[in-house]
């Protein structure tokens, strides 16, 4: 089997060779698809040659397909068809168009004219195109497994199968690049969203810490021995004590107003963004966003655990102000459990998504999981 020409090479030959020279070329060097416009625009003698070449090639291909169907089965033929990349190119084009449509909004966000949250919500509008491209990538992965299996007993079609496998991997690489571009952009947006949440939490914790100091001072006045003596002579102290208790009540209300909320679904969404970007690789700028996002994730994981404990005990507590080694270990264990549970679900999702082709992605997931847990422990120790 000769090496197929790409469309540019074939078009150049149409322009350079005579009709007689074109007619002598082997059919198996023809591109898989010849645009109708190329044939229609060719001079009459060349057009006749091209039409005959296309017809004969189509008949030959049909006979080969029929033989392969009998020898290998329809499942293998369907897998080989994936190597053409028609569905993948359509899905890639749709996502790229949607990303282009998003450019004005992205520019406004980068110029700080809209909030991180608004930009993140705009990114969610691309989910349908992304899901379709991911679904096509999963179909390609399953097709690759079928072709690899077929090559164990290829019969007379080893070269056809190898070419289809090479083509399929090339198509999959295009899909991965397109997904990677989207995921780097998503990482940039959601990393900024995480930074904003981290800043909000840090500012709220500083205010709460100051309020707690003021509360402690007021409560100390209420409990002080001089105040107990004053209670023996209430005619001189009742107004002062009422005033102190009202101040304490007001301060507690202000503490409650400084509480922040972070939902588990929000944390999982951020973790998904980081893991997906890590799985598909990224540019240098993407790696910078990834490092920043991971550091923010560790802070937010710890903050989430603090929030869960505070809600459970009905108290406002700030682990970043008063560090307790036992408490630090507890938060670390809860954070690690959160990550492990997440990856358990992620592995199940990947297996369901990719089936027998999941091995490579699962190995990548294990590496990401191990790195995240290691980095989390190192960074949480720094916090405490």
Q: State both tokens at 102.
A: 């998003």
CA 324, 325, 330, 331 dihedral sign is: positive
Q: Is residue 43 part of a domain?
A: yes
**Statement: residue 231 has pLDDT above 60:** no
Q: How confident is the model at residue 221 (pLDDT cuts 50, 70, 90)?
A: low
The fraction of the chain above a pLDDT of 90, given in percent, is 10
Q: Is residue 123 part of a domain?
A: no
Residue 119: CB atoms within 10 Å: 20
Q: Which residues contact 327 (CB under 8 A, 6 or more apart)?
A: 319, 384
Q: Is residue 286 part of a domain?
A: no
Predicted pLDDT at 364:
72
Q: How confident is the model at residue 53 (pLDDT cuts 50, 70, 90)?
A: confident
Please tell me whether the overall predicted TM-score, pTM, comes out greater than 0.85 for this model.
Answer: no
- Most confident among 139-143, 261-265, 342-346 (mean pLDDT): 139-143
pLDDT tens digits, one per residue of 57-115: 776 677 766 777 777 788 888 888 888 888 999 999 999 999 999 999 999 999 989 98
Predicted pLDDT at 239:
61
Q: Is residue 107 part of a domain?
A: no
Q: Which residues contact 92 (CB under 8 A, 6 or more apart)?
A: 133, 174, 175, 178
Q: State both tokens at 125.
A: 């509008």
Ranking 165-174, 190-199, 223-232, 347-356 by mean pLDDT, the lowest is: 223-232
Q: Is residue 373 part of a domain?
A: no
Predicted pLDDT at 244:
61
Q: Is residue 268 part of a domain?
A: no
Average pLDDT, the chain: 76
Predicted pLDDT at 380:
53
What span, in angstroms and rounded, lies between the C-alpha atoms of 105 and 82? 35
Q: Is residue 77 part of a domain?
A: no
Predicted pLDDT at 384:
46
Predicted pLDDT at 109:
93
Domain count, the chain: 1
* Range of the structural domain that residue 29 is part of: 1-72
pLDDT tens digits, one per residue of 247-280: 666 666 665 555 666 677 778 888 888 888 877 7
Average pLDDT over residues 139-154: 88
Q: Is residue 55 part of a domain?
A: yes
What span, in angstroms and rounded, lies between the C-alpha atoms of 133 and 89? 9
Predicted pLDDT at 261:
61
Q: Which residues contact 14 (CB under 8 A, 6 or more apart)?
A: 22, 38, 42, 46, 50
Q: How confident is the model at residue 56 (pLDDT cuts 50, 70, 90)?
A: confident
Q: Which residues contact 86 (CB under 8 A, 6 or more apart)?
A: none
């Amino acid at each position: 089997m000769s090496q197929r020409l790409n469309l540019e090479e074939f078009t150049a030959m149409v322009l350079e060779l005579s009709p007689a020279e074109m007619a002598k070329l082997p059919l198996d060097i023809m591109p898989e698809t010849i645009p109708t416009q190329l044939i229609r625009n060719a001079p009459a003698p060349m057009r006749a040659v091209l039409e005959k070449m296309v017809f004969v090639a189509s008949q030959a291909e049909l006979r080969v397909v029929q033989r392969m169907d009998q020898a290998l089965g329809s499942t293998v033929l369907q897998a080989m068809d994936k190597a053409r990349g028609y569905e993948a190119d359509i899905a890639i084009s749709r996502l790229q168009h949607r990303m282009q449509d998003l450019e004005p909004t992205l520019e406004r966000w980068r110029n700080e004219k809209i909030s991180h949250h608004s930009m993140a919500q705009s990114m969610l509008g691309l989910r349908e195109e992304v899901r379709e491209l991911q679904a096509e990538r999963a179909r390609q992965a399953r097709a690759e497994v079928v072709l690899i299996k077929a090559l164990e007993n290829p019969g007379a079609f080893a070269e056809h199968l190898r070419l289809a496998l090479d083509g399929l991997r090339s198509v999959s690489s295009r899909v991965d690049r397109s997904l990677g571009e989207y995921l780097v952009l998503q990482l940039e947006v959601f990393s900024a969203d995480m930074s904003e949440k981290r800043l909000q939490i840090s500012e709220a914790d500083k205010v709460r810490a100051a309020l707690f100091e003021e509360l402690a001072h007021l409560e100390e006045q209420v409990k002080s021995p001089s105040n107990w003596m004053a209670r023996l002579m209430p005619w001189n102290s009742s107004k002062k004590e009422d005033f102190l208790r009202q101040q304490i009540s007001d301060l507690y209300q202000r503490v409650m107003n400084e509480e922040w909320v972070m939902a588990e679904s929000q944390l999982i969404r951020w973790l998904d963004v980081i893991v997906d970007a890590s799985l598909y690789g990224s540019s240098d700028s993407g790696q910078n966003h990834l490092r920043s996002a991971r550091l923010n994730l560790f802070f937010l994981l710890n903050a989430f655990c603090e929030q869960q404990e505070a809600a459970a005990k009905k108290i406002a507590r700030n682990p970043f102000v008063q560090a307790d080694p036992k408490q630090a270990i507890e938060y670390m264990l809860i954070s690690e459990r959160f990550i492990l549970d997440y990856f358990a679900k992620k592995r199940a999702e990947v297996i369901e998504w990719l089936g027998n082709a999941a091995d490579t992605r699962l190995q990548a997931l294990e590496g990401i999981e191990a790195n995240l847990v290691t980095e989390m422990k190192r960074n949480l120790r720094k916090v405490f």
